[in-house]
């Protein structure tokens, strides 16, 4: 076995140190938020120090937010937006990506160029607002799902993956009597679990963290997603309507922030292996 040179060992040591430093930069704020949420408010509001170990542990902040009706409704709204937006986005992205693979269809290249065009130019905020209003989606959770259901980048990524599959698979299915829809559902999709999981993760993170659409399109307090309520608690805690049973202190703010981040932290480890594989397959090949 060939021994590694000194320069290689130094490079690996430097790389490990860099990754540890990067991990610490990412983890320390999360640990600080968790510790603040577990401390009583009179300790959490102490300035001038980083809270990495709770001086006194209490779950009162979490009890308060889980008893609050507004926060739990907004949490349910975010779950609906994330699930519906992710599933519909992944489904339509897969169908669009598969359709763009058929280069023999007349006008397919024009459609591809139009999709690329939307990556560089958009209508802007005001036309988007007018469109949502004319569609009758104001104060509807679908306003945060339908207008941004597909991403041009994800469509291109999906198309690149489908092009990397052997064309003989679809041809053999067509010879056996399958139509295009049967070929797509029974042959192509089962072979595309990695890229589907990747696209699903992209959409889920985007939908869960989205708050600007909720600020623009939703004014009904009962239909606001969790991220809008979190913004109101963190920035406008003096004016936020939380049904009058929530004392908005520093520990409650941090507990709300941690609960908002927790679902993505729980889902990501199960999709991480597909995430890496799907991005590499969709980006390198095709």
pLDDT band at 2 (very low <50, low <70, confident <90, very high): low
At residue 227, does pLDDT exceed 50? Answer: yes
Residue range 243-261, pLDDT digits in tens: 445 667 788 888 888 888 8
| Phi, psi dihedrals of residue 42, rounded to the nearest 5° | -70, -20
Residue range 181-210, pLDDT digits in tens: 888 888 888 888 888 888 888 898 888 888
At residue 241, does pLDDT exceed 60? Answer: no
Q: What pLDDT score does 274 carry?
A: 66
pLDDT band at 16 (very low <50, low <70, confident <90, very high): very high
At residue 50, does pLDDT exceed 60? Answer: yes
- As a whole-number percent, the residues of the chain with pLDDT over 90 amount to 12
- CATH 1.10.3720.10 is held by the domain 61-284: yes
Question: Could you count the other beta carbons within 10 Å of the beta carbon of residue 51?
Answer: 20
Residue range 98-137, pLDDT digits in tens: 888 887 888 888 888 888 888 888 778 888 889 899 988 8
Mean pLDDT of 47-53: 76
Residue for token pair 């959770």:
141
Domain ranges of the chain: 1-58, 61-284
Higher pLDDT: 286 or 259? It is 259
The pTM (predicted TM-score) of the whole model is 0.81
Q: What pLDDT score does 142 carry?
A: 92
Q: What pLDDT score does 101 carry?
A: 85
């Amino acid at each position: 076995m060939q021994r590694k040179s000194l320069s290689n060992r130094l490079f690996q040591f430097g790389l490990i140190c860099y990754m540890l430093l990067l991990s610490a930069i990412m983890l320390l704020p999360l640990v600080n938020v968790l510790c603040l949420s577990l401390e009583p408010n009179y300790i959490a509001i102490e300035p001038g120090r980083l809270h990495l170990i709770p001086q006194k542990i209490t779950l009162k902040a979490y009890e308060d937010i889980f008893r609050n009706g507004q926060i739990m409704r907004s949490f349910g709204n975010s779950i609906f937006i994330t699930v519906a937006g992710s599933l519909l986005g992944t489904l339509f992205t897969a169908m669009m990506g598969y359709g763009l693979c058929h280069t023999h269809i007349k006008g397919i290249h024009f459609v591809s160029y139009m999709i690329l065009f939307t990556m560089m130019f958009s209508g802007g905020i005001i036309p988007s607002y007018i469109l949502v209003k004319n569609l009758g989606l104001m104060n509807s959770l679908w306003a945060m799902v339908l207008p941004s259901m597909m991403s041009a980048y994800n469509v291109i990524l999906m198309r690149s993956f489908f092009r990397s599959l052997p064309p003989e698979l679809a041809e053999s299915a067509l010879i056996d009597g399958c139509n295009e829809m049967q070929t797509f559902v029974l042959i192509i999709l089962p072979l595309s679990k990695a890229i589907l999981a990747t696209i699903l993760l992209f959409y889920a993170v985007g939908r869960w963290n989205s708050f600007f659409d909720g600020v623009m399109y939703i004014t009904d307090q009962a239909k606001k997603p969790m991220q809008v309520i979190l913004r109101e608690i963190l920035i406008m805690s003096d004016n936020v309507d939380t049904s009058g049973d929530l004392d908005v202190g520093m520990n409650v703010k941090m507990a709300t922030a941690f609960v908002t981040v927790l679902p993505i932290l729980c889902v990501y480890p199960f999709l991480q292996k597909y995430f890496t594989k799907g991005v590499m397959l969709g980006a390198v090949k095709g």
